[in-house]
Amino acid sequence: MINIALIGSGELGSRHLQSLAELKNASITVVESSPLSVEITQQRILDLNLVELADIFYIKDIKKLPSKIDFAIIATGAAPRLSILRSLLKHASVKYLLLEKVLFQSVEDYRKAKELIDSKNVKVWVNCPRRMFEFYSSIKFKLDKASPMVMTVNGGNWGLACNAIHFIDILSFLTDSKVVSVSTADLEQKTHASKRKGCIEIFGRLNITFSNGHLLTLNCSHNNAPIDINITGREGEYKIDEVKGKILFNDKQTGIATLIKYQSELTRLVVEQALTFGQTKLTKFDESCEQHIPLIQSLLLFYNRTENLDTTILPIT
């Protein structure tokens, strides 16, 4: 029997569980203190109408988890994540672990988390799932990564602060390069309340420079314009519309098949990859930290400056 722990069954956590529910020979323990979240999650599992269902148990306290866990997922917001990570690894021996993004809200927490993870010898991945979309792998194969390229993301109200890491991660994957700097100079010089209580959002343009001269430009307006993605290199320009499933190269339709999978379809695949091969297609923890830290540092400076604060906590999730 495979022991799986899911900590947090809110909106995203319940989607993880929908995927995990299809695992065979699995015992899944969900840690969730909110009765309403549990109720919604249980209904979403029933809605699947699965003939075979993994064993699913609901508890309120991490200390009631099994002492040995094959795969754990922390699907909470960023603010309590380090505390939850400490509690989990203090209580149980965990072989594989998946963390949601944004990982942590302070730079110091990244160091503390790494020390803890290394001391417990846990393999950890971060859930930036575009790496699992086959069409990005197809594009990567065709790109000339030796020459500088520009990736531009345009859209409205798409959560620039909390979702920037997804696009940072996919460009890092496409180019095999690392983040060098993050510029907030072209952002609107103020923050906005996020739909997530106690968190902020930003609008305008965020510019991220990578090694080998690659550039990522993220534009977020206040309207509801759909997201479009352009990748321009020496060989030409890719235009990617993930929603409509269209990829153009130099304004001509490509033969690259696009398929966007939802979280409710992906998590089971991640667990199966980890348990079978000891690896997944997702970003390793150390690599994701190298992407997160420059972003958090830059946005924290921006936040302190625009709000006249002196805090080490960036309230995004």
The mean predicted confidence, pLDDT, of the chain is: 96
* Burial of residue 241, with CB atoms counted within 10 A of its CB: 0-12 exposed, 13-18 middle, 19 or more buried: middle
**134-260: CATH homologous superfamily?**
Dihydrodipicolinate Reductase; domain 2 (3.30.360.10)
pLDDT computed for residue 51 by the predictor: 83
Question: Which residues lie across from 27 on neighbouring strands?
Answer: 3, 55
Q: Is residue 255's pLDDT more than 90?
A: no
Looking at residues 70-94, what average pLDDT do you find? 98
Reply yes or no: is the peptide bond before residue 182 cis, omega within 30 of 0: no
Helices (H) and strands (E) in the chain, counts: 8, 17
Helices (H), 176-314: 263-277, 285-307
pLDDT-based confidence at residue 16 (cuts at 50, 70, 90): very high
For residue 227, the model assigns a pLDDT of: 96
* 146 confidence band (pLDDT: 50, 70, 90): confident
Secondary structure E strands in the chain: 2-7, 26-31, 55-59, 68-74, 93-99, 123-126, 150-156, 179-183, 192-193, 200-201, 204-210, 215-221, 228-233, 236-241, 246-249, 252-253, 283-284
* % residues pLDDT > 70 (the chain): 100
Identify the residue with better confidence: 243 or 158.
158
Hey, what amino acid is at 17? L
The predicted model gives 109-128 an average pLDDT of: 98
Torsion angle (degrees, nearest 10) of CA 285, 71, 171, 226: -130
Q: What is the CA radius of gyration of the chain?
A: 20
User: pLDDT confidence of 3, banded at 50, 70, 90?
Assistant: very high
Given CA atoms 275, 277, 281, 287 in this order, what sign does their dihedral have? positive
pLDDT of residue 65 exceeding 90, the answer is yes
Residue whose pair of structure tokens reads 């990570």 in the numeric block: 85
DSSP one-letter code for 62: G
Sign of CA dihedral 283, 284, 285, 288: negative
Out of 3.40.50.720, 3.90.1150.10, 3.40.50.2000, 3.40.50.970, select the CATH number for domain 2-128+265-281: 3.40.50.720
Domain residue spans in the chain? 2-128+265-281, 134-260
Query: What is the average pLDDT across 51-74?
Result: 96
Answer whether residue 9 shows pLDDT above 90: yes
101 close to 161: Cβ distance less than 8 angstroms: no
